Amino acid sequence: MTDITIDHVTKNFAIDGRSVTAIDDISLKFPSGSFSALIGPSGCGKSTLLRLVADILAPSAGKITIGGTPPDEARRRHEIGFVFQDASLLPWRSVMDNIALPLEIAGGPIGDGPRPETLIRLVGLSGFENAKPAQLSGGMQQRVSIARALVLRPKILLLDEPFGALDEITRQRMNMELLRIWQETGTTAILVTHTIGEAVFMADQVHVLAAHPGRLVTTIDVDLPRPRALAMLQTPAFNHLENAVRAALFGDELKAEPEPAHG
Ligand SMILES: Nc1ncnc2c1ncn2[C@@H]1O[C@H](COP(=O)(O)OP(=O)(O)OP(=O)(O)O)[C@@H](O)[C@H]1O
């Protein structure tokens, strides 16, 4: 069981001598094996929240547990996989060697962790084992970074806008792939996104955040069946959920009348 619990977590940063509250007393639970999305305006603390879970940052107050243990223990046990918006691959290394890098750093495979060859197949990059990152498209580079995040067989997968830089069509295809990989690996996944449709399409639960200070507005349960299919994007149920997320994001702004046109 690898559920993630965020219990009354606050994170302050010091900027120019003053304290900025990036996260203000957020409590959340991510059930084991679930897929959750975090959505909210720029600066609401989405990336900070992921970094706290990943033990890249420490909370100013409150407590985070991953499968009942603190994030630093989970990190040391290689239970956390992280995919950033930028694939950040080493340009001089091949696809295979980029994926194998965490194994080299860890000193070998963890338990019955997947072999890089298996992951290359899983992310659909067979035939590109020896290619260098510069020879790949943006979507292919992100596939490499997902495979690299999975090579130590993490129990949780943290995704910080992994496909934000991709065009709409590639992004939708990558999302379908990501869901397949998530289901095959059985990880607990948290996705940061700016896109309402993407949050609803991917997640079991969408957590809506507000900024200044970063706080939780509401959580919307997505009861669409799995596996998700592109045809769902056009259903009334999907639109209804998108509207619920939009209402939570915009609040009263949605009710405002348009300004009359001048001229
Ligand atoms: N390392 C840092 N040092 C100081 N302040 C930081 C740091 N990281 C984040 N912040 C501040 O914390 C707040 C939340 O930032 P964060 O990057 O988590 O937001 P976000 O929701 O991911 O934004 P975006 O959608 O624009 O990526 C911002 O006010 C930001 O200035």
d(CA 41, CA 46): 9
Within a domain: residue 122? no
Q: If 0-12 CB within 10 Å is exposed, 13-18 middle and 19+ buried, where does residue 227 land? A: exposed
Find the CATH number of the domain harbouring 62. 3.40.50.300
Q: Which two tokens stand for residue 235?
A: 């259903």
Q: Look-up: residue for tokens 């559920």?
A: 3
- pLDDT one digit per residue (tens) for the chain, 263 residues: 799 999 999 999 998 989 999 999 999 999 999 999 999 999 999 999 999 999 999 999 999 999 999 999 999 998 999 998 888 899 999 999 999 998 888 877 666 778 888 889 888 899 999 999 999 999 899 999 999 998 888 999 999 998 888 888 888 988 998 898 899 889 999 999 999 999 999 999 999 999 999 999 999 999 999 999 999 999 999 999 999 999 999 987 777 777 777 76
**Residue 47 CB less than 6 A away from ligand 1:** yes
What residue type is 249 in one-letter code?
L
**Residue 42 CB less than 6 A away from ligand 1:** yes
Within a domain: residue 128? no
Contact between 33 and 186 under an 8 Å Cβ cutoff? The reply is: yes
pTM reported for the whole predicted model: 0.93
Strands 4-15 and 80-83: unpaired
Within a domain: residue 145? no
User: Residue 158 forms beta bridges with which residues?
Assistant: 82, 190
Within a domain: residue 88? no
Q: Is the ipTM of this complex over 0.90?
A: yes
> Ligand 1, from 9, 11, 18, 47: best to mutate by most atoms within 8 Å of Cβ?
47
Q: Checking phi first, is residue 255 left (phi over 0); if not, alpha (psi -120 to 50) or beta?
A: alpha
pLDDT confidence of residue 111 = 67
- Number of domains within the chain: 1
Within a domain: residue 11? yes
CA nearest neighbour of 157 among 65, 81, 51, 83: 81
Q: How many CA atoms lie within 13 A of 75 on its CB side?
A: 14
pLDDT confidence of residue 202 = 97
User: Residue 81 forms beta bridges with which residues?
Assistant: 157
Quote the domain boundaries for residue 7.
1-79+191-254
pLDDT confidence of residue 13 = 95
**Residue 207 CB less than 6 A away from ligand 1:** no
Residue 211: enclosing H or E segment and its boundaries? none
Question: In angstroms, what is the span from residue 91 Cα to ligand 1's centroid?
Answer: 28
pLDDT confidence of residue 110 = 66
